[in-house]
Structure 1
């Protein structure tokens, strides 16, 4: 390409309040490349970028993931190197309100105090009155907690307020956004943005479905879209939660179809876990590799 990487990305401004997007300039640079349109790709490749948002960025985010700054640097470098071969990008975005079951505002103890972030709340804690539901939705909350336990899901963890709809924290990280739209303009395509996590009664780590919800919502649009690509690369934040859950959900849906699951590669150096979940995340990824035949590689080892 004629455009240099540092004409698009300012690595010193990754995960920074100082980043300036200047999208008009970025798009003009991309259009001047006269690249092959994405719809002409014979081998169709997809990047599934999970929750590359400000609130997960170290130094600026309310739920910062250690290592996220370097993850974005490596991911944008990978996108740049593979610009002519990367067909499409799907981005998931956490999108929450203040009053959701995993936020402090939902709960109160006997002294009228909200739980601190990273408090675990279990079914018995609510049944015995240790925690009560502020908005009166006790029955619905107990239903959720009971199903987490019976379904062997992650326990309910109270998170710091994050990705509140309309806030800076909910936006895609600014430097990543520049590369996203450079790719879109250069390859004459449009990225797909998938919002998740808006149901107040449940946590939705994965892009496909919630941990538990009465409606049993499944995002078949994304599942069908993923299946249309010859190679799928997954990156984002955090590897321990939203990336892992998204990969698991896609793989479970296509279980028994190794011709599909073997197309999936995790970009292990473009994702990081939340502190304390490093070992469990590695174990889970290895299980997925053994069970479904996915690949786990560094972005620097992959040229499309």
Structure 2
């Protein structure tokens, strides 16, 4: 018994609380009559990076185009419920007091930086910006960020604060994730990232600046090897999706049989404004270097 898509996913409520009760929804999933995911001969992972309310178009760190991205991803999942073995979701998870939020820094007049302010090591050394707490560690971080990650510290709007609605998985997409879970008897993987107060963490494997010899989420990297295909969607394409891919591909740089399994659905992700061209260039480079597939949700057939 195939449940109509509109009974699982309401495209008019993307970014808003779900109007469908979870017990009603999952009761319908039981009736799908699909084989368990454990029976799949081809193992396919659907990896959704930071599909959270705060990255939706009315969220605290809104990504233009995110509603259409969620809609495209949901339709793809619905059309391939019987083929997707497992869904993994990452959740950007923060506290107000983190190095990339305004409250961490003040200028000479005691003002906090506006969102999207860039703070360089020189800014800290000359007193343009001062860390309210952990000044030595903060300066060291800004320096290492440039050395290790080739980035500058960006102050972001407060977003994805743990326990808030903004930090939750977008409700309509969540409906689809849990519907799949019941219909296929497959438990979603949950990847929580970004809780270190002294580091940004765009990628799902490790923070921008690692402490000591932290190798990152080795368990997840090992998990990825178990799948014949890994399909990637998420927000924002220019930051968390891009950095997640970079980290995974760098880890498996010498294993073309693994990197070639990665499929990016370009119509299920959007960049933060101002990063369009650099994002397009970066993805093209990853495609050329690692042999990943970049396609769309309508073109990919499983």
Length-normalised TM-score, structure 1: 0.97
- Aligned residue number for residue 142 of structure 2: 145
2:220 is aligned, of 219, 222, 227, to 222
Does structure 2 conserve the Cα–Cα contact (< 8 Å) formed by 1:95 and 1:163? yes
1:120 aligns to 2:121 (yes or no): no
Report the CA distance between 1:151 and its aligned residue: 2.3
Does structure 2 conserve the Cα–Cα contact (< 8 Å) formed by 1:62 and 1:162? yes
- Aligned residue number for residue 190 of structure 1: 187
- Aligned residue number for residue 6 of structure 1: 6
1:108 aligns to 2:101 (yes or no): no
Moved beyond 6 Å, runs of 4+: none
CA–CA separation in structure 1 for the residues paired with 2:47 and 2:32: 24
Helix, strand or coil at the partner of 1:284: helix
- Matched length: 301
Helix, strand or coil at the partner of 1:195: strand
CA–CA separation in structure 1 for the residues paired with 2:22 and 2:215: 35
CA–CA separation in structure 1 for the residues paired with 2:200 and 2:266: 24
Helix, strand or coil at the partner of 2:265: strand
Does structure 2 conserve the Cα–Cα contact (< 8 Å) formed by 1:233 and 1:264? yes
- Aligned residue number for residue 265 of structure 2: 267
CA–CA separation in structure 2 for the residues paired with 1:100 and 1:247: 24
Q: 1:152/1:96 Cα in 2 relative to 1: closer, same or farther (>3 Å)?
A: closer
Report the CA distance between 1:21 and its aligned residue: 4.2
CA–CA separation in structure 2 for the residues paired with 1:127 and 1:217: 30
The CA RMSD measured in Å over matched residues stands at 0.9
- Aligned residue number for residue 171 of structure 1: 168
Deviation per residue, 1:83-134 (Å, 9 max, x gap): 0000001100000000000000000000000000000001111111111111
1:233 aligns to 2:208 (yes or no): no
Q: 1:11/1:193 Cα in 2 relative to 1: closer, same or farther (>3 Å)?
A: same
CA–CA separation in structure 1 for the residues paired with 2:14 and 2:176: 12
- Aligned residue number for residue 40 of structure 1: 39
CA–CA separation in structure 2 for the residues paired with 1:289 and 1:210: 23
Does structure 2 conserve the Cα–Cα contact (< 8 Å) formed by 1:210 and 1:217? no
Kindly report which structure 2 residues correspond to 1:86-101, keeping only aligned pairs within 5 A, or say none: 86-101=84-99
CA–CA separation in structure 2 for the residues paired with 1:107 and 1:234: 35
CA–CA separation in structure 2 for the residues paired with 1:153 and 1:80: 39
Report the CA distance between 1:152 and its aligned residue: 4.6
Q: Structure 2: state its 5+ residue gaps.
A: none
Q: Structure 1: state its 5+ residue gaps.
A: none
Report the CA distance between 1:295 and its aligned residue: 0.4
- Aligned residue number for residue 128 of structure 2: 130
CA–CA separation in structure 2 for the residues paired with 1:169 and 1:76: 19
CA–CA separation in structure 2 for the residues paired with 1:247 and 1:193: 17
- Aligned residue number for residue 302 of structure 1: 300
1:202 is aligned, of 199, 203, 223, to 199
Helix, strand or coil at the partner of 2:2: coil
Helix, strand or coil at the partner of 2:266: strand
CA–CA separation in structure 2 for the residues paired with 1:288 and 1:63: 26
Length-normalised TM-score, structure 2: 0.98
1:15 aligns to 2:12 (yes or no): no
